[in-house]
């Protein structure tokens, strides 16, 4: 499911934070700079999470979903999770100063692709959608040491096009994330994001035909022609805790995340959302990861 994939992607990418502050007390003050960590060279993080989220975009029916996630860095090339996909960062990070990220991304979009997962019988009567395969790119900037030596502010833009002939359109999604540690073992991030879609994307997922022979007349939804524009905006709060008490040595970590997003414009006005669902979308997720 798209929404939990998004949760898990954010969760694991933030769980693999490269440097955390030590505990702040009289005997163990913050060091002058980040310590060496398992993330400084090649590493692999694997994880699995359980999320509770809407069954499809705009639905008011919620369920539990499970998804594995992988994040890695090999030879300076970083692999970061995306919703049901990955983004590759080909730009090495500098030792100091602003870091630039750029590279390709690929993801699958599985919204309403299985009628058994569409828990609303009226929406299900409008049929399954095809799975989209979206190829594109991701670029971003990360500004370290904003308020202290260990926090950062990142801005990012993902953009991708469907190459599988499903919606045949594109989306672009800017985001801003603030990350800060609370201790050597625990950290948090707060992310704000929004998504824009083109006319083809909007038409495929949000347009409603004026007739449906599979439904009795009282259940037929009003016809609706969706157009592109802003699709949604939202906020996510993530907490991560290393079980050994020291994130710099890898091992097991726990991640929890809560989020809210709001569908707007035609994504909210479509009868799939306005009559059969809800434009407020919530999710929570818990996960466990291991870093080698």
Q: Which residue has the higher pLDDT, 25 or 87?
A: 87
The backbone torsions φ and ψ at residue 76, rounded to the nearest 5 degrees and listed phi first, read 85, -5
Q: Which pLDDT score is estimated for 252?
A: 95
Tens digit of each residue's pLDDT (9 = 90 or more) over 6-41: 444 444 444 444 434 333 343 444 444 555 677 778
Q: What is the pLDDT of residue 2?
A: 37
CATH number at residue 287: 2.40.160.40
Angle at 269 between CA 106 and CA 137, to 5 degrees: 15
User: Distance (Å, rounded) from C-alpha 198 to C-alpha 117?
Assistant: 26
Q: Determine the average pLDDT of the residues in 100-107.
A: 97
DSSP annotation of 210: S
Q: What is the pLDDT of residue 265?
A: 98
Q: How far apart are CA 219 and CA 203, in angstroms?
A: 21
Q: What is the mean pLDDT of residues 248-265?
A: 93
Instruction: Please name which of 142, 118, 133 lies closest in space to residue 86, comparing C-alpha atoms.
Output: 133
Percent of the chain with pLDDT over 90: 75
Write out pLDDT tens, residues 180-226: 999 989 999 999 999 999 999 999 999 999 999 999 999 999 999 99
| pLDDT digits 0-9 by tens, 134-179 | 999 999 999 999 999 999 999 999 999 999 999 999 999 999 999 9
Number of domains in the chain: 1
- Residue range(s) defining the domain that contains residue 88: 2-291
Taking the C-alpha atoms of residue 98 and residue 93, their distance in angstroms, rounded to an integer, is 8
Helix (H, G, I), strand (E, B) or coil at 247: helix
């Amino acid at each position: 499911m798209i929404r939990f994939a998004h949760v898990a992607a954010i969760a694991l990418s933030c769980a693999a934070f490269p440097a955390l502050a030590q505990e702040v007390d009289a005997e163990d003050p913050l060091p002058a700079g980040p310590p060496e960590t398992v993330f400084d060279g090649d590493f692999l993080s694997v994880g699995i999470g359980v999320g509770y989220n809407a069954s499809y975009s705009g639905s008011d029916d919620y369920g539990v979903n499970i998804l594995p996630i992988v994040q890695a860095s090999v030879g300076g090339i970083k692999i970061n999770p995306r919703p049901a996909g990955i983004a590759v960062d080909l730009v090495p990070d500098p030792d100091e100063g602003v870091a630039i990220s750029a590279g390709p991304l690929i993801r699958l979009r599985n919204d309403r692709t299985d009628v058994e997962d569409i828990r609303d019988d009226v929406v299900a009567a409008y049929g399954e959608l095809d799975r989209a395969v979206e190829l594109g790119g991701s670029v971003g900037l990360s500004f370290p040491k904003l308020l202290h030596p260990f926090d950062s502010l990142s801005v990012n833009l993902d953009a991708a096009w469907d190459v599988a002939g499903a919606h045949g359109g594109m989306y672009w999604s800017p985001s801003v994330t603030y990350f800060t540690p609370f201790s050597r073992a625990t950290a948090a991030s707060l992310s704000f994001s929004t998504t824009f879609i083109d006319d083809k994307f909007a038409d495929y997922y949000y347009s409603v035909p004026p007739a449906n022979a599979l439904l009795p007349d009282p259940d037929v939804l009003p016809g609706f022609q969706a157009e592109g524009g802003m699709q949604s905006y939202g906020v996510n709060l993530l907490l991560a805790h290393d079980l050994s008490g020291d994130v710099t040595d890898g091992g097991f970590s726990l991640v929890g995340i809560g989020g809210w997003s709001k569908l707007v414009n035609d994504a909210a006005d479509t009868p799939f959302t306005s009559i059969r669902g809800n434009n407020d979308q919530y999710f929570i997720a818990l996960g466990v990861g291991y870093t080698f």
